[in-house]
Every structure is written in structure tokens, then in C-alpha cells.
């Protein structure tokens, strides 16, 4: 209850501090200042409980791709809730939204990724990938082919499987031990880690680290390589153009499955339906979530190509894996409406040909002479900006994360949501952002960077 002297914001903050344990949060630090209360959203904006309008440069957590307040998505949820909020008879039944969504996803995935397994979060999709890939090789008569290779600074979720496959040092230090038979190679971070190599040479070198790892482990033991087309939570690390084709070549050479974690890159973020298309690769499996429903409902999926699906379906018998809410009809109905709306509004073309290039260009223009800005990389409507102490000498800050956090706080206080990953500032606005809103976003970025200086 709200006490007589308290306003509503303070009351929610008090209740929140007492009972709501936030993910990825230093709870004591948050409670000392109180969590900001977000109450409403429309288009690319959200409002807090004090009436402040904030431009959402992150589309929530990289997910509200079609923007806030989309009637088509809201109506789809309402209608499905009225008709049938849930049904599953131990997985032997289906619902119209689940079946139609599987078809809609297959209509936009590349190649033969036509078999869709549903889960509820990106982490669950990644765990599904891990189990499915290992099971596939076992059914193929090669159970020893069970080592998965991921990358340092990759993010694949917070479950035991996702954390094990991910390469986040801070996460690995807590809550372990993690899964055996998972290896990590270096990330393809050209600006930060290439030394004197040009982009193309560095991309090839970074990809060949996979070949070295395969030979070290033994190709007969390696099941798959898994990576985000662009590492998102790692700070938007865009690999050089030479990287992914070389990874694909190496996977084929050693008969190793290639899995793309499209949880952030999927559904238009990079200017193609999937990041794999932007980088010219044909994965055997893909995990997806976030933009699948524009974040309106929790839902994720794994799209599986013919090779793995046909083997498991024809020879595998029952796959002992699934979730109570796999293919949840309300979430699926929203995702169907979301994909159809994306097609109707040609959002992927808009990102590829219009707003993506405009955003990348305006961001570079507005930060061209901003001294903190060391390097900008991005594709479509996602960008990462390295903050540096000295841009000419390419000198990073010694106490990594301090300046990034300061910058993020300036953004938050000045009506802009922008994420800090160490000293990399990250943007991933809704795909429906207009040119005028991009101008506003970029002007705010400049202002907040200047305040941080």
C-alpha cells in the first residue's frame, strides 16, 4: 500500500527493492537509488512514472523491433487469449498458431531450415541446440563427436547450457562448474585485438583459430561451432567480411555442424531476415527469440535444416526434450502477427536500404569529432562504439567499464536508453524508427558523450 507521505514512484520502488530481485544487477547498489519505473511505450519511446519521455535506443533488450503499442500484435494476443489461452496434451496435439508460426518462420529462414522446435527464451533455444546437436551425432553413430566450440565474449544465455557455451568470463566465475566438452576460441574483434593486421587478414586469422582448435581436439570429437553473426551482448562486435565464409569452409572441411545464434541478429536487425544472410553463411541450425515476437510475448525457436532434422525424425525416435510452453498459442499468435506485419510493412527492406544506412551514416557524422569515440562498427540498426582515452594512439581506459557506466548514466538521465558493455556503447533501436527519430537519437548520443568527457 502507498503510505500517505509517499508518491506512487517511491512506493513502487520500495516494494521493488523489498521483493523484486533483478537479473544481472548489483542489487544493493540499485536499491540504494531505486529502480526507475517504466510505465508506458509508444513507437520508439517509453515513459517513466514521473512522466519523462525516453527514446529507447535499445528496443528494450534488442527485441521490440516493431516498436511499442502495435495494435496488430496486441489484438492477436487478446483474440488468442479469448479463444484458447493454452493447450498441450503431452505434446501430441497442436494449435493453429503454433503450426502457422512454424510455417511463417520457415518462409523467412534461409536454405532448408524448415523444421521448427519451439521454446520460450533465447537461453532455452540454445540449450535445445546443444542437446539436439549432440543427440544428432549420437544417432549418426558418433557419440564421441560431442565437443562444442563457441567463442570468448559470446553471449548465449544464462542457463547452465547457455553460460557454458557463452564466453563471458564474469559469468563463468559464478555458479559453476559448467558443462564439459565445450571449448572457446578468440572473438573476431578487429578494432580491439587485431594489432597491425588489416580487417580481411584478421578475419581469416580469427576464423582459422577454429581450425586450430578442431585439430587440437580432434575432428572426430567436434560436433559443432556456434556463434552469433554479430556478437551483441559482447558489445556489438562485427566480424570482418572474410570471417564467416572461412568459418563455413572450415566446418564443411571437417564435417562439423554450423549453428548460428540469431537471438539478436534475427528478424531484420542487420538488414536481412537473419544475420547469417548478411554474412553469406548457410548454418545447419539457428536459434532465434527476441524479434520473433518483437518482445511482446516470450517465445523462441530453433530452426533445423534437413540434414539434422531428417536424421533425427527418421532414425532418432523420441527426442526427450521440450517445455510446457513450447509453441504457446498466445505467444505464437503474436509472433505470427509480428512476422506478417514485418512482411506487410517491408521492414527488412527498410532497414537494408533506407533507415539502416541512414542510421550508420548519421551516427558516424555526429560523432566524427567527438574525442571519446574511438571506433564505430555496426550493420543495419545495430551499432557498437568503442570509447577510448586517446583515439589517435588507440588507447583504451585502464579501469575498463568506468567511463562506459558514466556515459550510460548520462544517457539515462537525458532521455536516452543506451547500453554500456565495458567501455563499448551499444545501440539497437526499434526497426521502425524514422529518420527524424534517428536524428533525435544521434543528437542525444552526442550530447551524452560530451557530458561524459
225: contact with ligand PLP by CB under 6 A: no
Cβ proximity to ligand PLP, 127 vs 437, nearer residue = 127
Instruction: Using alpha carbons, select from 202, 247, 201 the residue that is nearest to residue 227.
Output: 247
Which residues are within 8 A (CB) of 446 and not within 5 positions of it... i.e. 6 or more apart?
Answer: 366, 367, 370
Range in contact with ligand PLP (rule: CB under 6 A) among 64-72, 228-236, 399-407, 418-426: 228-236
- Which cell numbers hold the place of 124? 532455452
Which of 65, 123, 272, 373 binds ligand PLP (CB under 6 A)? It is 123
- Give how far Cα 100 sits from Cα of 97, 224, 259, 336, Å: 5, 30, 24, 7
Contact with ligand PLP (CB under 6 A) among 57, 110, 150, 157: 157
438/375 Cα distance (integer angstroms): 19
> Interface mask (CB under 6 A) for ligand PLP, residues 258-297, using x and -?
---x-xx------------------------x--------
**155 touches ligand PLP by CB under 6 A:** yes
From the CB of 234, what's the least distance to ligand PLP, in Å?
A: 9
CB atoms within 10 A of CB 174: 7
Q: Which residue is nearest to ligand PLP (CB)?
A: 122
Note whether 144 and 221 are within 8 A (CB): yes
Q: Within 13 Å of residue 90, how many CA atoms lie on the same side as its CB?
A: 2
State how far the Cα of 451 lies from the Cα of 217, in Å rounded to an integer: 49
Query: Kind of pairing, strands 419-421 and 115-119?
Result: unpaired
Q: Choose the binding region for ligand PLP from 52-60, 119-127, 203-211, 219-227 (rule: CB under 6 A).
A: 119-127
Stretch touching ligand PLP by CB under 6 A, among 141-149, 155-163, 197-205, 397-405: 155-163
Q: Which is nearer to ligand PLP, 122 or 271 (CB)?
A: 122
Cβ neighbours around 73 below 10 Å, total = 24
Q: What is the smallest separation between the CB atom of 128 and ligand PLP, expressed in angstroms?
A: 11
Residues touching ligand PLP: how many (CB under 6 A)? 14
- Residues lying near ligand PLP in the complex (CB under 6 A) are found at 121-123, 126, 155-157, 228, 232-233, 261, 263-264, 289
Amino acid at each position: 500500500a502507498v503510505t500517505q507521505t509517499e508518491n506512487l514512484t517511491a512506493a513502487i520502488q520500495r516494494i521493488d527493492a523489498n521483493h523484486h530481485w533483478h537479473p544481472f544487477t548489483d542489487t544493493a547498489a540499485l536499491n540504494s537509488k531505486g529502480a526507475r519505473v517504466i510505465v508506458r511505450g509508444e513507437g520508439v519511446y517509453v515513459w517513466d512514472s514521473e512522466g519523462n519521455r525516453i527514446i529507447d535506443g535499445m528496443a528494450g533488450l534488442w527485441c521490440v523491433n516493431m516498436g511499442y503499442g502495435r495494435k496488430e500484435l496486441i489484438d492477436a494476443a487478446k483474440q488468442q487469449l479469448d479463444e484458447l489461452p493454452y493447450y498441450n496434451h503431452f505434446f501430441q496435439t497442436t494449435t493453429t498458431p503454433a503450426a502457422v508460426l512454424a510455417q511463417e518462420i520457415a518462409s523467412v529462414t534461409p536454405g532448408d531450415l524448415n523444421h521448427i522446435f519451439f521454446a520460450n527464451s533465447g537461453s532455452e533455444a540454445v540449450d535445445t541446440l546443444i542437446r539436439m546437436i549432440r543427440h544428432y551425432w549420437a544417432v549418426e553413430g558418433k557419440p564421441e563427436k560431442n565437443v562444442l566450440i563457441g567463442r570468448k565474449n559470446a553471449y548465449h544465455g544464462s542457463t547452465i547450457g547457455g553460460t557454458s557455451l557463452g564466453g563471458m568470463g564474469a559469468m563463468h566465475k559464478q555458479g559453476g562448474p559448467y558443462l564439459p566438452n565445450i571449448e572457446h576460441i578468440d572473438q573476431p574483434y578487429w578494432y580491439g585485438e587485431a594489432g597491425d593486421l588489416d580487417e580481411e587478414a584478421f578475419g581469416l586469422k580469427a576464423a582459422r583459430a577454429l581450425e586450430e582448435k578442431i585439430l587440437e581436439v580432434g575432428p572426430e570429437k567436434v560436433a559443432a561451432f556456434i556463434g552469433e553473426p554479430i556478437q551483441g551482448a559482447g558489445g556489438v562486435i562485427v566480424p570482418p567480411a572474410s570471417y564467416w565464409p572461412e568459418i563455413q569452409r572450415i566446418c564443411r572441411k571437417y564435417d562439423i555442424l554450423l549453428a548460428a545464434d540469431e537471438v539478436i541478429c534475427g528478424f531484420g536487425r542487420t538488414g536481412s531476415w537473419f544475420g547469417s544472410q548478411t554474412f553469406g553463411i548457410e548454418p545447419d541450425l539457428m536459434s532465434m527469440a527476441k524479434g520473433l515476437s518483437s518482445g511482446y510475448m516470450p517465445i523462441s525457436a530453433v530452426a533445423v535444416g534437413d540434414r539434422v532434422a531428417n536424421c533425427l525424425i527418421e532414425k532418432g525416435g523420441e527426442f526427450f526434450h521440450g517445455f510446457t510452453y513450447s509453441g504457446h498459442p498466445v505467444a505464437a499468435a503474436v509472433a505470427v502477427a509480428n512476422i506478417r506485419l514485418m512482411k506487410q510493412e517491408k521492414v527488412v527492406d527498410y532497414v537494408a536500404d533506407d533507415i539502416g544506412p541512414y542510421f550508420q551514416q548519421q551516427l558516424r557524422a555526429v560523432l566524427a569529432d567527438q574525442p571519446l569515440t574511438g571506433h564505430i562498427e555496426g550493420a543495419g540498426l545495430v551499432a557498437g562504439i568503442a570509447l577510448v582515452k586517446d583515439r589517435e594512439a588507440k588507447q583504451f581506459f585502464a579501469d575498463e567499464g568506468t567511463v562506459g557506466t558514466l556515459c550510460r548514466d548520462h544517457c539515462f538521465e537525458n532521455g536516452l536508453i543506451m547500453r554500456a558493455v565495458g567501455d563499448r556503447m551499444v545501440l539497437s533501436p526499434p526497426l521502425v524508427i524514422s529518420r527524424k527519430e534517428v536524428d533525435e537519437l544521434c543528437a542525444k548520443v552526442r550530447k551524452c558523450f560530451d557530458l561524459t568527457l
